[in-house]
């Protein structure tokens, strides 16, 4: 179904704008439609904040992480949404040697009894090389561990575009893009090889890590992937699944999936053959969500310079997918998010651009891919400094975070509660 159905649906919306500053949940404004309620929440992040992510845990608690930058110092903070508002922000880590990037930025995941976070740190050996640092929350000490480098290659190269998923027993699944093969004949002693000697491709790797950052196991999932698009991971009933932008030998960069089934990673395969052949990187990764055997993947593609956001659904854990639904086309610049609600409906977020302006949009689909409703969550900017909106859900409520760059960068948060 095409996005052109939106205006009809939007016309049916009853708009009620209420000032509710005294609301216990710190709701700044509210917009109600026939099928959903959109609330702009207060933000626990100060000005000069950006690179935010929002995540819900199994109890339905909502956690927000973001980065503040002052001079050269970067600080990763987080806060939890409680009935009385946001908790006092706490610091996970800070440093003056971080690699902050609007498309490749820190994350936080929350397990039943543990938390893990990641950020990128410049490696000492290469000016543009960086490592993935992860920290874990020590519940006994009520504090975060020091950051540890999760990949053990010891090669000065690019490592990033991380996806994390909490597992049982306080373990954390992490997938990432790993540039170790892009450096020729590297060893620990000769890690600084000039870039024109580069060889090999960006690889996709994943591992399971314990509470001190030790690798329980680690795999190479694909030996040639797009260099700078986000990876995305989810937990199906079979186990972890990872989606990413592949890179074929003749530069087709479609979205692929690999699944961990019966202790083996499946051969990567396209969720759909867009056939987007492009020699560069679109900096626009896919997003996957899973509940049981239901899997939903949304992504951006632009074959023949025709930008589109698409959605595919699976009822068998990602083994097969439905034909794609076109979520948006024309003016979209992607930056997608995907969640599966308790109702079985799927929400997809993306951005539409109009010159230098942009809109953060959210569409609701039924389990069979029928468009139910589309709302505009917020105005934004097409500028890359506005970053990637991030969504997560609990029950039938979707939480959205993004960065407002009208003035100083400011992390924003909204909540969309669906009635169906």
Partner 1 sequence: MKTKPVVIVTAVIATLIVIVAALLQSFPGERQRHADEKWRIVNYWSEWCAPCRREIPMLNQLSRELQATNVAIVGVNFDEDPREKSLVIASGMGIEFPTLTIENVLAMQLALPDVLPTTYILSPENHVLAKLIGEQTKESLLAKLTSLGLPGNENYEQE
**Binding footprint of partner 1 on the chain (CB under 8 A):** 99, 101-102, 104, 127-128, 158, 179, 182, 195-196, 198, 227-228, 251, 278-284, 302, 307, 333, 356, 382-385
Shortest gap between Cβ of 143 and partner 1 (angstroms)? 31
| 301, 308 contact by CB (below 8 A) | yes
Shortest gap between Cβ of 269 and partner 1 (angstroms)? 24
**Lookup: tokens for 138:** 């020590």
Between CA 257 and CA 232 the distance in angstroms is 10
Among residues 146 and 195, whose Cβ is nearest to partner 1? Answer: 195
HSE-up (13 A, CA, CB side) for residue 330: 10
Between CA 132 and CA 127 the distance in angstroms is 15
Shortest gap between Cβ of 154 and partner 1 (angstroms)? 19
Among residues 90 and 385, whose Cβ is nearest to partner 1? Answer: 385
User: Of 352, 356, 355, 232, which is closest to residue 296 (Cα–Cα)?
Assistant: 232
Shortest gap between Cβ of 130 and partner 1 (angstroms)? 8
User: Of 221, 267, 224, 270, which is closest to residue 247 (Cα–Cα)?
Assistant: 224
Shortest gap between Cβ of 339 and partner 1 (angstroms)? 25
Shortest gap between Cβ of 195 and partner 1 (angstroms)? 6
Among residues 282 and 318, whose Cβ is nearest to partner 1? Answer: 282
Among residues 379 and 385, whose Cβ is nearest to partner 1? Answer: 385
Among residues 105 and 260, whose Cβ is nearest to partner 1? Answer: 105
Among residues 15 and 279, whose Cβ is nearest to partner 1? Answer: 279
Between CA 88 and CA 62 the distance in angstroms is 14
Between CA 39 and CA 194 the distance in angstroms is 51
> If you search the block for the tokens 């056939």, which residue do you land on?
275
Among residues 25 and 122, whose Cβ is nearest to partner 1? Answer: 122
Between CA 30 and CA 392 the distance in angstroms is 19
Radius of gyration of the chain (CA): 20
**Lookup: tokens for 240:** 């972890």
- Please report, in angstroms and rounded to a whole number, the separation of the first and last CA atoms in the chain: 19
Shortest gap between Cβ of 355 and partner 1 (angstroms)? 10
Shortest gap between Cβ of 329 and partner 1 (angstroms)? 14
Among residues 94 and 101, whose Cβ is nearest to partner 1? Answer: 101
Q: What is the DSSP string of 203-253?
A: EEEEEEE-TTS-EEEEEEEESSB-TT---EEEE-SSSEEEEEEB--TT-B-
């Amino acid at each position: 179904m095409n996005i052109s159905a939106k205006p009809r649906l939007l016309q049916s919306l009853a708009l009620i704008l209420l000032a509710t500053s005294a609301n216990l949940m710190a709701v700044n404004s509210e917009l109600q439609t026939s099928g959903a309620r959109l609330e702009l929440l207060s933000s626990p992040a100060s000005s000069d904040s950006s690179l935010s992510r929002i995540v819900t845990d199994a109890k339905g608690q909502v956690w927000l992480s973001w980065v503040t930058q002052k001079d050269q110092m970067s600080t990763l903070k987080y806060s939890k949404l409680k009935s009385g508002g946001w908790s006092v922000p706490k610091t996970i880590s800070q440093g003056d040697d971080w690699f902050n990037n609007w498309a490749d930025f820190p994350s936080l995941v929350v397990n039943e009894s543990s938390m893990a976070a990641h950020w990128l740190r410049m490696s000492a050996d290469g000016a543009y090389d960086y490592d993935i640092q992860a920290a874990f929350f020590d519940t006994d000490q009520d504090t975060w561990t020091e950051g540890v480098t999760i990949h053990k290659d010891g090669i000065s190269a690019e490592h990033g575009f991380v996806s994390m998923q909490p597992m049982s027993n306080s373990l954390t699944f992490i997938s990432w893009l790993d540039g170790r093969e892009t450096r020729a004949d590297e060893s620990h002693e000769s890690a600084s090889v000039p870039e024109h000697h580069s060889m090999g491709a960006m690889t996709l790797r994943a591992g399971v890590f314990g509470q001190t950052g030790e690798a329980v196991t680690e795999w190479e999932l694909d030996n040639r992937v797009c260099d700078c698009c986000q990876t995305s991971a989810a937990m199906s009933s079979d186990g972890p699944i990872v989606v990413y932008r592949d890179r074929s030998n003749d530069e087709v960069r479609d979205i692929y999936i690999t699944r961990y089934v019966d202790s083996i990673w499946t051969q990567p395969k396209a969720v759909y053959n867009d056939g987007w052949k492009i020699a560069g990187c679109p900096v626009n990764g896919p997003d996957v969500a899973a509940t049981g055997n239901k899997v939903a993947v949304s992504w951006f593609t632009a074959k023949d310079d025709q930008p589109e956001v698409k959605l595919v659904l699976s009822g068998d854990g990602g083994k097969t997918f439905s034909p794609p639904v076109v979520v948006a086309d024309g003016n979209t610049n992607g930056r997608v998010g995907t969640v599966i609600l308790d109702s079985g409906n799927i929400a997809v977020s993306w951005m539409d651009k109009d010159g230098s302006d942009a809109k953060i949009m959210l569409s609701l689909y039924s389990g069979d891919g029928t468009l139910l409703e589309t709302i505009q969550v917020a105005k934004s900017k097409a500028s890359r400094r506005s970053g990637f909106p991030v969504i997560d859900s609990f029950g039938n409520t979707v939480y959205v975070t993004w960065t407002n760059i009208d003035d100083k960068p400011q992390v924003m948060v909204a909540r969309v509660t669906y009635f169906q």
